[in-house]
Structure 1
């Protein structure tokens, strides 16, 4: 037995040597081993964290939701309405029945097919009062949704509603998987998000980052995009960096590649950085000073007009925004070409401290009054609050500044604790006025607490107009009434400015949101 064992050892040794020699020879033929491809990651910075990653329930829509979900209707680079999850749609002659023909071969991130039941579930859930969706009012024109077959759905309207395509193209109309609430419960929108979009949810570390990974099965991108397939890079990380100076530092040092909202005082500095490109477009934003219209003294229109006359918009644009903004006198920005009221400046309130004092005296406040001015604790809002405080003091209004982080600010407004406060909205449609100023939106998001039957009548009439043209004219009447009543004090329209590091390639600006799946890529070192 001993000899037999020794005899067996020799061929094992020889075989081992042959394997080693062949392995070395094989490596010489194939060359050196290749390294695994480096993961390509684009990092975008935001100044705030969302409350929830659920398009139906969110009060503030994170950019992440754009890329996790597709919508029935998409918007091209000219803001035209184009096919999305719906390949086409038909409208009945009376404008009351919309038939959507759905794209086939689409799957959710968990592999289940997208069908008409998902569309019906999404719309029905938004409209269900038990859901308490902030977006429910935008779909109030829809009476019911009917499934015709797996890839055809009909929406029956209560009245003609030409703004339906806009609402169905919005972030809040991202199509969700039917029954996701029942399946995932309270984890949905926190630990689980399922859509059909070009990116899939990986993780959300509250207050720090949202991580999305590319959807390798995505092949149904809109036809107007240069790339209808999966994104060209691997991960999109949306970092929450509340402090402005920290966002700038991260951009300059390469920890962040895209900064969507460039602080105006930093623009010139960043323009001189050879590693950074600045993209500028006309903005659909508007910054304003608001007040609780149901509280004294702001329930008096003379006081509200006095505040409008007390604000020097030109000075604010020059010194707070370094010229990267325009003064605002109306309630919509000029970028909303059809709906914008061209005579807003003519009808609005020019800077006139003497007139402001006279109006305060007429209202019974010849010696002014004391109040609180609330703002978010970012550098731009803080500087704006300080300038407004000084301008109001010039006419006798003594305002104590109260600063909040973004979450606490929303909580304060929801609780109705506001007096004077600073706000900025971003929205490319006149129905932003519905959102903030209809009585049905009280107490939030109608944070200016404006409950006025005439405003309700004008908005509802405009929103239900049978054609887009009549709708636009209706919203101009709304704006005239709001200016006359001085419901807000419009201040500025900021330029839309994005800063993008040069290693991000094929970047192009979109009037609504960055289209990361449309051929955008990043060079790796």
Structure 2
């Protein structure tokens, strides 16, 4: 159910917000058009093509203008019908037969058929094409349409997570004829979808305007409203400055946002005209990865010592003002196939254990209070994003207090990937979204993913064996058994220091009726079918 809880742990550090709000309120807020909902966010996408973008900004719009074959329940554990009203899976797990809903149309009135599914997938899986995240589709043998309402999706190897991945926005069905006609302009100048809203216009770095899809009635019952949309238009408005975005919500210039700075949430929590919402389930974990091939980090005792020295609760409170939860596991305990028997004790903040472990590993403390071994100081190198400077400084401070020197190197989002390829780090900071345990484990831990995104350089036969067992499982029990065993195995190896578990927090103004946010792909407004004006 929708979480409308307060955030009592948030400190009031709102001077910047107050000044921005005063500026916004100095002039009367522009009256919102009747039937129009304006959503504020800080960044735009490069294009609105589900097969060529991995950006959250793209997903936010694409879920409103397109549909997937299946979706997920609000707890992200049960696959539900969407464009496919039902499906059958062969006993060997290689053939999925989807039976499509009748009466579905694109925004231009064209009838949706199985050929559109086949054309969408063929475009996406074009060898050497400019397309992203194709691994989510599994190892495809063929995708065919024996008739207008049936799609047969054949794999070369079982993929236990396929249906869960099919709920992600990369699987949104496009109009293949339009995509071919527009070429690189597809998703830029136009997008003809089957979603509850239609793509009306896009002014890059300013706004995307969507209008209700007339006659839409095929939304998933599991997600609430099946259609049509309850509002006439949705405007996604770009407001680059966080303080200005927060002020715009307070002034009534936008109706909702979940791009708000953490420091503003306390103000909105105390404002009776604003309601805070969170999805039942939405998984994003912040973590520190440890490169196990580095001299010091090869020793699991050093990795655990580093883990115990870092206080994730302090990071949650001081930097995120209580809007995130400190965590001691690689992925959320609420996620499908998480093993509750996993020992998370190595990831708890416990500086005394840091000292014990380093002593056991042969380190001694010098007169300066820092650890060394055989005359070599225990000095580590940390790579992170410059947008996470406060986290880096907190980690550095915690390790220094524990007697470990940390050299911090921060880079912007274009430079850090090249620096990581240089392989000269001991620790690196990341955060990532995922659907379930299998999704999380496949993203990072396979030997085939070295050196990226397996930046821990973890090459382990047991990991690969359990990944293969989980991925090739043909029933839920076998899948869960493999991924739960793998989760336990990887936590025992201490490859990460888990830091924070983040859910999007939506703030809505008085014009909107409270609703249950979505959790898939981080796009909390989902299809937009639950948006309703008071």
Question: What TM-score, normalized to structure 1?
Answer: 0.81
Matches of 1:451 and 1:153 in 2, distance apart? Answer: 38
Name which of 499, 502, 525 aligns with 1:514: 525
Name which of 380, 390, 393 aligns with 1:383: 390
**Change in 2 beyond 3 A, CA 1:440/1:364:** farther
| CA offsets 1:45-81 (integer angstroms, 9 cap, x no match) | 3344334322112232431111121011123445432
Matches of 1:181 and 1:294 in 2, distance apart? Answer: 45
**Change in 2 beyond 3 A, CA 1:109/1:401:** same
Question: Is the Cα–Cα contact under 8 Å of residues 57 and 131 in structure 1 kept in the other structure?
Answer: no
Range moving further from structure 2, 96-105 or 506-515 = 506-515
1:112 to 2:110 alignment: yes
Question: Is the Cα–Cα contact under 8 Å of residues 242 and 260 in structure 2 kept in the other structure?
Answer: no
Partner residue in 1 for 2:6? none
Partner residue in 2 for 1:468? 476
- CA positional deviation for 1:215: 1.8
Q: Secondary structure at the match of 1:117?
A: helix
Matches of 2:419 and 2:186 in 1, distance apart? Answer: 26
Select the structure with the greater relative contact order (CA < 8 A; seq sep ≥ 6). Answer: 2
Partner residue in 1 for 2:332? 333
Question: Is the Cα–Cα contact under 8 Å of residues 101 and 152 in structure 1 kept in the other structure?
Answer: yes
Q: Secondary structure at the match of 1:491?
A: strand
Question: Is the Cα–Cα contact under 8 Å of residues 50 and 60 in structure 1 kept in the other structure?
Answer: yes
**Change in 2 beyond 3 A, CA 1:323/1:363:** farther
Question: Is the Cα–Cα contact under 8 Å of residues 309 and 356 in structure 1 kept in the other structure?
Answer: no
- CA positional deviation for 1:444: 4.6
Matches of 2:284 and 2:169 in 1, distance apart? Answer: 17
Name which of 226, 232, 235 aligns with 1:234: 232
Question: Is the Cα–Cα contact under 8 Å of residues 43 and 238 in structure 2 kept in the other structure?
Answer: yes
Range moving further from structure 2, 412-421 or 68-77 = 412-421
Q: Secondary structure at the match of 1:144?
A: strand
Partner residue in 1 for 2:3? none
| CA offsets 1:237-292 (integer angstroms, 9 cap, x no match) | 22344543333222222233222255444332211112100124454221112255
**Correspondence 1:50-65 to 2 at 5 A:** 50-61=45-56, 62=58, 63-65=60-62
Question: What TM-score, normalized to structure 2?
Answer: 0.80
Q: Gaps spanning 5+ residues in structure 1: where?
A: 1-36
Q: Secondary structure at the match of 1:521?
A: coil
Range moving further from structure 2, 261-270 or 182-191 = 261-270
Question: Is the Cα–Cα contact under 8 Å of residues 40 and 236 in structure 2 kept in the other structure?
Answer: yes
Question: Is the Cα–Cα contact under 8 Å of residues 465 and 471 in structure 1 kept in the other structure?
Answer: yes
Q: Secondary structure at the match of 2:314?
A: helix
Q: Secondary structure at the match of 1:387?
A: helix
Name which of 74, 89, 92 aligns with 2:90: 92
**Change in 2 beyond 3 A, CA 1:133/1:416:** farther
- CA positional deviation for 1:172: 1.4
Partner residue in 2 for 1:501? 509
**Correspondence 1:203-352 to 2 at 5 A:** 203-224=201-222, 226-260=224-258, 262-280=260-278, 281=280, 283-291=282-290, 301=300, 303-346=302-345, 348=347, 350-352=349-351
Matches of 2:421 and 2:64 in 1, distance apart? Answer: 29
Q: Secondary structure at the match of 2:377?
A: coil
Name which of 366, 378, 388 aligns with 1:368: 378
